[in-house]
Amino acid sequence: MTTTTRPAASPALTIDERLAFASLAMDARLAEAAVAYEVNTAHLPVADPIPAVTAPPLIHPAPAPCPYSTPIAATLHRARVRLETGGWCTGQLRDEQGAACLIGSIRAEAATRGQADDASVVLLDAIRRDFADADTIPSWNDAQRSPRLALLYLDRAATLADSRGL
């Protein structure tokens, strides 16, 4: 009968030893790849660096020209544009950031106090067509949650003033 002898089993490597061997193998492969890259690209001309990309300046569209020829309608239109661009607020004529309420925007755009009063009367008429319980423009303005209705009723008031020839 023949006997075979087996070689003695090598001791098992710990995880740290296996990681160290894998790290050495990867370092050798990366060094070989770096040399191959240099050899393969040596004949290529040096590329210019990528130029810095700058964003074009922001261009804000110019406001549309006023579609109304009557002074009160034009004042209401300008008040709407002011609210849309400068911001809308409640509880005060103007806040620290420059936002205004309905009355504040009308007063800022009116040429005279009388013109502001006339524009306010037309605006209140437009509001009361749909909100019969609206007592004043400031109270209605303060009851709103967003500028959406304020802008809408400035548009409606401008159309109303234009139809009345104001």
What does the alpha-carbon distance between residue 120 and residue 70 come to, in Å, rounded to a whole number?
A: 15
Backbone angles phi, psi at 94, to 5 degrees: -145, 150
Domain spans of the chain, in order of start: 71-164
pLDDT at 8: 62
Per-10-residue mean pLDDT of the chain, 166 residues long, equals: 63 89 94 90 72 79 84 96 93 91 95 95 95 94 94 96 93
Q: Considering the entire predicted model, what is its pTM?
A: 0.62
What does the alpha-carbon distance between residue 147 and residue 89 come to, in Å, rounded to a whole number?
A: 8
